[in-house]
Amino acid sequence: MKIFLVAAARPNFMKIAPIVRALQCHIHNNLEWRIVHTGQHYDHTMSQAFFIDLGIPEPDRFLDAGSGTHATQTAKVMVAFEEICIKDKPDLVVVVGDVNSTLACSIVAKKLNIDVAHVEAGLRSFDMTMPEEINRIVTDSITDYFFTTEKTANENLLNEGKPFDKIHFVGNVMIDNLLYQKEQLESIDPNSFSTSIFKTQLDQFIFLTLHRPATVDNREKMSDIIIALNKIAKEIPIVFPVHPRTKKMILAFGLELSDKILQLPPLSYKESLFWWKDALFVMTDSGGLQEETTALGIPCYTIRDNTERPITKTEGTNTIIGTSGSAIYKSYQEFKSGKIKNGKIPELWDGKAAERIVSVLINSLLHI
Give the Cα separation of 26 and 18 in Å (integer): 13
Q: In what order do the strands lie in the sheet with 300-302?
A: 261-264, 238-241, 206-208, 282-284, 300-302, 318-320
Give the residue among 36, 54, 178 at the shortest CA–CA distance from 96. 36
Given a contact cutoff of 8 angstroms between Cβ atoms, the answer to whether 232 and 329 are in contact is yes
Give the Cα separation of 140 and 345 in Å (integer): 26
List 26, 41, 211, 243, catalytic entry: 211
Q: How far is CA 122 from the centre of its chain?
A: 15
* Rg (alpha carbons) of the chain, rounded to whole number: 20
Q: Is 62 exposed, middle or buried (0-12, 13-18, 19+ CB in 10 A)?
A: middle
Q: How far is CA 28 from the centre of its chain?
A: 30
Coil, strand, or helix at residue 186? Answer: coil
Query: DSSP assignment, residue 203?
Result: S
Q: Is 211 part of the annotated catalytic residue set?
A: yes
Given a contact cutoff of 8 angstroms between Cβ atoms, the answer to whether 35 and 20 are in contact is yes
Residues carrying an active site annotation: 211
